[in-house]
Amino acid sequence: MLTVVWVDELDETTTREVRELLLAARKVDGRPDISPGEPLPGEFASGPHLLARSDGVLAGYAHLDTSGDAFGRQVAELIVRPDHRRRGVGTEVLSALVDRAGGAQLRVWAHGDHPGAAALAERAGFSRARELLVMHTPVDPDWPEPRLPEGVSLRTFVPGQDEQAVIEVNARAFDWHPEQGRLTVDDLRAEEAADWFDADGFFLAEDSTGKLLGFHWTKVHPANPRRFGGRETGEVYVVGVDPGAQGGGLGKALTLAGLRYLRDRGLPQVILYVEGDNAPAIAVYSRLGFTRHEVDVQYER
């Protein structure tokens, strides 16, 4: 018998159960990005949480971001334990999400564009609303030196000094983006506390007066046996250029600075995420050797 319960907070026991479910999914799907002993990923940090139990076993889990994305849409994550799939768990969890969202616009992530998720979405009346591409390239020993616009220089991020300037540029550069444009100083400082944060891989471009024009924030992922050949992987995490500085090659220069840094760290490959309808960015990344590797999808009702 399946029971579905909403809770606003996870206690120690349910946190452990959710972590075990996410790790079981990662073992099969390669997602989400979580390792044993780590805290839950940030997107699962606060409630409400949906717990679906089958004979006492946590068979399904969902998280609903009721605060919404930058455009007011509620966004959910839904994961079914691999050994409980194709038993109606996903259908029950998705129905509970729809009920909880009420009349609000609701989007649900399907990471990796799993065919089971597509079938579930179609049955529930959801349509494909957004594609987030994962592009991939092996490192290139011939990535050239960045060519910066005249009067522009590069340096690396200084924690405790540069947060406000980065957030201001980020807000202007990503005012169209459902998630990135909402980044706050507190969010950035929380990321700085993470084990993966590396200020030496966070590049800032400034003009001659010291004004921030853009940045490239890189990230390194530990080896994941189900993704990218099971090898350690660098990421073009965020490249943001102030709209007033766009069009002069700064974005490409910042991207190259980060790529060369990741290469010099000895990483064998690099990934990035880009909106599927962002043709200009996809063209730039394609010229740098990136090819489409995976896709994450948001379904909307």
Residue 167 has pLDDT above 90, yes or no: yes
Report yes or no on 130 lying in a domain: no
For residues 295 and 148, state if they share a domain.
Answer: yes
Please indicate, yes or no, if residue 36 is contained in any of the structural domains: yes
Report whether 297 belongs to an annotated binding site: no
Q: What confidence score (pLDDT) does residue 103 get? A: 85
- Work out the pLDDT band at 38, boundaries 50, 70, 90: confident
240 annotated among ligand-binding-site residues: yes
Any binding-site annotation on 252? yes
39 within some domain = yes
Could you check whether the bond before residue 243 is cis, i.e. omega within 30 degrees of 0?
A: no
Do 253 and 139 sit in the same domain of this protein? yes
Residue 16's CB: how many other CB atoms inside 10 A? 12
Output the average pLDDT for the chain.
94
235 marked as binding residue: yes
Q: Look at residues 101, 125, 149 and tell me which one is the last residue of a structural domain.
A: 125
Are both 149 and 278 inside the same structural domain? Answer: yes
Residues 142 and 243 occupy one common structural domain: yes
Find out whether 13 is annotated in a ligand binding site.
no
> Per the domain annotation, does 226 fall within a domain?
yes
Cα–Cα distance for residue pair 285/274, rounded to 1 Å = 9
- Give the mean pLDDT of 212-225: 95
Same domain, 69 and 109: yes
The confidence score (pLDDT) of residue 45 equals 77
The verdict on whether residue 122 carries a ligand-binding annotation is no
237 is in an annotated binding site: no
User: In this structure, are 188 and 95 located in the same domain?
Assistant: no
On whether both 211 and 296 belong to a single domain, the answer is yes
How large is the average pLDDT for residues 93-99? Answer: 97
Q: Is 273 annotated as a binding-site member?
A: yes
Spatial contact of 146 and 254, defined as CB atoms under 8 Å apart? yes
* C-alpha radius of gyration, the chain, whole number: 20
In a domain, 53, yes or no: yes
* Residue 143 shares a structural domain with residue 285: yes
230 and 147 together in one domain:
yes
Q: What is the pLDDT of residue 134?
A: 97
166 annotated ligand-binding residue? no
Q: Using the 3D structure, point to which of 73, 100, 125 is the last residue of a domain.
A: 125
Residue 246 assigned as binding residue: yes
DSSP strand pairing (57-65 vs 74-80)? antiparallel
Same domain, 112 and 158: no
Position 152 in a domain: yes
Tell me whether residue 169 is annotated as binding.
Answer: no
In a domain, 189, yes or no: yes
Same domain, 52 and 91: yes
pLDDT digits over 233-261, tens only?
999 999 999 999 998 999 999 999 999 99
Taking phi first (over 0 means left), then psi (-120 to 50 degrees means alpha), and beta for anything else, what does residue 101 get? alpha
Query: Residue 27, annotated ligand binder?
Result: no
Residue whose C-alpha is closest to residue 77's, from 129, 37, 32: 32
Number of domains in the chain: 2
Segment among 20-34, 150-164, 205-219 with least mean pLDDT: 20-34
Question: Is 234 labeled as ligand-binding?
Answer: no
Query: Has 80 been labeled as part of a binding site?
Result: yes
269 annotated among ligand-binding-site residues: no
Note whether 148 and 242 are same-domain residues: yes
Annotation-wise, does 239 bind a ligand? yes
Question: What residues contact 115, with CB distance under 8 A and at least 6 apart?
Answer: none
Is position 47 within any domain?
A: yes
Residue 241, annotated as binding a ligand: yes
pLDDT of residue 236: 98
Q: Which of 92, 107, 125 is the last residue of a domain?
A: 125
Q: Label each residue of 50-101 as H, E or C.
A: EEEEECCEEEEEEEEECCCCCCCCEEEEEEECHHHCCCCHHHHHHHHHHHHH
In this structure, what CATH number is given to the domain that contains residue 37? Answer: 3.40.630.30
Q: Is 274 annotated as a binding residue?
A: no
* Domain membership of residue 161 as a residue range: 135-300
The response to whether 9 counts as a known ligand-binding position is no
